Amino acid sequence: MPRRRSSSSTGNPTGGSTAPRNRTPQPVRVRRRTVGDFVKAFLAFLALMVLLVGVPLALAMQFGWPLPHGVPSLDWLQQEITVQTFLNILSVVVWLAWAQFTACVLVEMKAALSGVGVPGRVPGAGPSQLLARQLVAALLLVGATAASFTPGLSQLGHGLEGNQKGTVAVAQQTPGGLFGQQREQAADTAAAVAEQAAGAAAQAEAKQGDTKYYRIQPPEGRHHDSLWEIAQRHLGDGRRYKEIYALNKDRVQPDGSRLSEASLIRPGWIMEMPADAHGGELVEMPDGAPDVSEQVRQQIHDYARTGDQAQGGGDQAQGGHRQDGRSHASVPAQRQHQDHGGGTAATPATSSSGRSFGLPEALLGAPLLAAGLLAALGHRRRQALWQSALGAVGGRRGMEPPTPTGDALDVRDALLVGADPEGVRRLDRSLRGLAAALAAESRPLPVVYAAWLTGGDLHLQLAQPAGKPPAPWQTGQDETFWVLGHADAERYEDADTAAPFPGLVSLGTMDDSRLLLNLEAVPGIVSLSGRAADRAAVFASVAAELATNGWSDRMTVTLVGFGQDLTPLAPNRLRHLDGIEALLETMEAETRQRRGALGAAGHDSVLTGRTGPAQHTRWAPHLVLLAAQPSPEEALRLAELASGASRLGIGYLVGTDSAELPGAAWEMEITGEGRLLAPLLGLELDAQMLPSAEQQAVVELFVEADPENGPEGPAPTPPFLVDITEQGRPAVYARLVGPYEIIGLDTPDDERSALLHEALALLLLHREGVHPRVLSSALWPRGVTDDVRDALVERLRSWLGTDPDGTPRLRTDDTGRLTLAKSVVSDLDVLRSLYHEATQGKGADSRAVRGRLLTDALVVVRGPLLADRPEGRYRWLTHEIVDAQLPLIVADIGLALSSFHLEKDRAVKAIEALDAALRTAPADERLWNELLRATHATGDTARLQALAADLVGRADARGLPPRTEALLDELLPPWRTAVAAAG
């Protein structure tokens, strides 16, 4: 994305530069100290002086010391209670209230000045501590930004660069100093280059031979210099701090250190400034040198030389230029973006409607969310299959899941393309592995504010230093970052430990770095401002990912003001409340309960509880997503609840119409262009969103997969039926049920044969059509360019050939999806057609026809689906349910054919049918139970005993299923004794 460039050289802070594409034209709302802030600070100071000094002086002057100066005698208790006695008692109460408030002020002052740790809670001082917090915050506002009041915030948007290798730096600072490849169109790049060239020419014309420098000022009280404020004062836009950073990155400072993070600057450092910088604190070299001391002039002179040497070569690596010995922010050339798997793919063409190649862009760019939704949807469909197989719901109607259409089909394809299940697996194993390693060393879990995923590496951002991380984790650029490389993460296996940070949720990306914010660790409320529709899209994305992510065990997500239709995604996790009052009552009760439970267990936070003996059953997080605007009174109650919620495992994300919300520790804004801004945290992200249309389509997929909501009646017709008569012989016949074979085509003899076979299998399993991007992501999960994919499609089209009328057997429908002609058939199509015809076609009215069709269907079955598929290929089958569906269809055929034979007392034939079905569905309990009945029907007790012993031998540690045991008790009462004797 093109970056903002320097304004023209007129010196006008508003500049004349045109705003770049894909960036909001509105300025970021940053709180600057105004006259009102100073007035508030002065009033807060007066209030504190009155309460802290005036109250005790008044009490001392009016009442003196209220307590007796010696040990009272018993006569004192018998004295008459006078007005003075009552006043003395009242003064004691006031003294105690003053002492409590003073303690609150001291606690809040300590937390604010140290910048580390969450303010402690003074017992019984809820309203007093809230008042103290507001007065202290108002007093300190004139000397510090809001970020100074929250531990660790000054580093949130910056640098993980110390552990990166081989990255390419560009103009904008990103998390970790990592500058990944960006999605840019040629027109955007050309416009940005032209803009940069024009700006550079104007600057060179206005300031020939002069370079401007700024010397970082020492702190004044609580106020410290920052690049944001320097850019705000001297460039007119705080967001241009990135230009200052780019000009000075890695150059040697007077104290010998280097600038490596935009948030870490020191007094006395020299900063080279863009040519259009203005203001009295700047020094221009060489003309302005006499205006400063000789020492500073020499420091600036030495620093200027580092720009020629250290930065000169670096600009080439960054793709930028140097003119007149000065650094300039570079515009990255158009390149291919890196997909979630680590490979390269062509930059998607995104339309204004938010769709890329006809698919929803919001889900294509959310790999963790897509993976969670896809996994949850697959689980829901498998659950529906088993419920249908057991006859629990609606007869047999779950055997053929509905084929999505319209927006639901597009969303399903987007999930298939965008999902990164390997990334979810690595993240989950890495976090659990870290928890297990810390538990083995008897160390508590650190407080993690955020995680950054960059190029396969995982960076955890800690609230405060927590010592040396356990191997293979390493310390990042400072002690508040723990880093795990991609190769080290691959070595982790599944760990039997609780998920340590289940509150992590994706917010968006900064270049190639993806931010996951730990909602339950935030020391207060996370507020989100912006237009209601944009906020709703962010809230929906957060709710959907929390409901389906793969790195959490248990949690409760409460939705207020939105999301009632989202609950079908995860009814066990998501709950919807009607209003804020109901939420406050619920959370007040739960806060008390959790605080008491922590105290009773002897834990100071849920993190210590998660590594203890009860880690799997307790301390699950409760995350509140409040999209409705709270009233001022409700906001204060919410702020009080959130003040100590982080140690209880409770997090709050609250939408607000204004930029300010009481108790908000982190303030964010979503723009109409999809940018998530938090200037004081150093964050400017491409937000992860789930717009309304995509949200409805996702919910539709889940609702249709739920057997409780399906239509009553017979099983639906399979999506593709073939002519099973002798005249319906196909031109191309692929055998997928068992070893993969193709009849009717010559086998390709080059190295692309495996890809062609896999592509054909994917198309055969999706007769409704396959989007080209789904095909490419399935065959090349690490990414591929469009020309390579298109070349394979053409080879596949040539290999399949044409029908007698000249029509290609591989076609493209009106939606751009690839479809196969009816002359290309698989044995799975034949199997489904035979079963459908036997149960709902001609076989439904003719017993003889039904028996013949069922027998033919069972002959088609030769084993599991694609039984000989090579290692590492066909990974897309993990997203399909056909692996679960095929055994159930085969089991149904075996059971139907067994029943057909047992009606005529042909027990041996029934056993043969059941044995054939068990070769494909060996885990189906129904087949084993029917086999017991058929064997019992033969009257061969020895054979029945042998079968019982075989079943016991196959059983796991839990033993035989209860229904099987009950059936054996009925058919073979002494089976337990016989099996024990045989064992």
Residue 235 banded pLDDT, cuts 50, 70, 90: confident
Percent of the chain with pLDDT over 70: 73
Between CA 306 and CA 297 the distance in angstroms is 15
- Whether residue 594 is predicted with pLDDT greater than 90 in this model: the reply is no
DSSP 50-103: IIIIIHHHHHHHHT---S-SS---HHHHHS---HHHHHHHHHHHHHHHHHHHHH
The 10s digit of each residue's pLDDT in 610-656 is: 765 544 445 788 999 999 888 888 989 998 888 888 888 899 999 99
Output the pLDDT for position 976.
Answer: 78
Output the pLDDT for position 57.
Answer: 82
Output the pLDDT for position 601.
Answer: 74
Between CA 492 and CA 428 the distance in angstroms is 10
**Chain mean pLDDT for the chain:** 76
Mean local confidence (pLDDT), 151-176: 39
> What are the C-alpha distances in Å from 22 to residues 179, 196, 407, 671, 686?
18, 17, 26, 11, 10
Output the pLDDT for position 224.
Answer: 63
Mean local confidence (pLDDT), 173-193: 36
Best CA proximity match to 651, nearest among 500, 521, 515, 499:
521
The 10s digit of each residue's pLDDT in 664-704 is: 888 899 999 999 998 777 788 999 999 999 999 999 888 88
Output the pLDDT for position 483.
Answer: 94
End-to-end, the C-alpha distance of the chain in Å comes to 71
CA dihedral for 713, 715, 721, 726, sign (positive or negative) = negative
DSSP 95-134: HHHHHHHHHHHHHHHHHHHH--SPPPPPTT-HHHHHHHHH
Percent of the chain with pLDDT over 90: 23
- Whether residue 852 is predicted with pLDDT greater than 50 in this model: the reply is yes
Which range (26-35, 87-96, 118-127, 724-733) has the least confidence? 26-35
Residue 207 banded pLDDT, cuts 50, 70, 90: very low
Residue 558 banded pLDDT, cuts 50, 70, 90: very high
Output the pLDDT for position 342.
Answer: 37
Best CA proximity match to 52, nearest among 101, 90, 91:
101
Which residues have C-beta within 8 Å of that of residue 710, sequence separation ≥ 6? 384, 393, 394, 397, 398, 402, 704
The 10s digit of each residue's pLDDT in 537-555 is: 999 999 999 999 989 888 8
Output the pLDDT for position 171.
Answer: 28
Among 101-105, 512-516, 869-873, 948-952, the range with the most confident prediction by mean pLDDT is 512-516
- Whether residue 47 is predicted with pLDDT greater than 90 in this model: the reply is no
Mean local confidence (pLDDT), 444-472: 90
Output the pLDDT for position 119.
Answer: 58
The 10s digit of each residue's pLDDT in 54-66 is: 888 887 777 776 6
Residue 802 banded pLDDT, cuts 50, 70, 90: very high
CA dihedral for 272, 274, 280, 286, sign (positive or negative) = positive
Mean local confidence (pLDDT), 5-22: 36
Between CA 188 and CA 324 the distance in angstroms is 27
Mean local confidence (pLDDT), 525-542: 92
Output the pLDDT for position 339.
Answer: 40
Which range (85-89, 208-212, 227-231) has the least confidence? 208-212
- Whether residue 790 is predicted with pLDDT greater than 80 in this model: the reply is yes
Mean local confidence (pLDDT), 182-209: 42
The 10s digit of each residue's pLDDT in 347-360 is: 344 444 455 555 77
Confirm if 824 and 809 have CB atoms less than 8 A apart.
yes
Mean local confidence (pLDDT), 521-550: 92
- Whether residue 398 is predicted with pLDDT greater than 50 in this model: the reply is no
Output the pLDDT for position 213.
Answer: 87
Regarding pTM above 0.85, the answer is no
Mean local confidence (pLDDT), 2-30: 36
Residue 476 banded pLDDT, cuts 50, 70, 90: confident
Which range (161-165, 436-440, 630-634, 707-711) has the least confidence? 161-165
The 10s digit of each residue's pLDDT in 266-289 is: 788 888 988 888 876 777 655 554
Mean local confidence (pLDDT), 929-942: 90
- Whether residue 808 is predicted with pLDDT greater than 50 in this model: the reply is yes
- Whether residue 760 is predicted with pLDDT greater than 80 in this model: the reply is yes
Mean local confidence (pLDDT), 922-927: 86
| Residue 869 DSSP code | P
Output the pLDDT for position 37.
Answer: 67
- Whether residue 13 is predicted with pLDDT greater than 50 in this model: the reply is no
Between CA 179 and CA 172 the distance in angstroms is 8
Greater confidence, 548 or 323? 548
Mean local confidence (pLDDT), 707-722: 63
The 10s digit of each residue's pLDDT in 432-453 is: 999 999 988 888 889 999 999 9
Output the pLDDT for position 959.
Answer: 79
> What are the C-alpha distances in Å from 261 to residues 117, 251, 258?
22, 12, 9
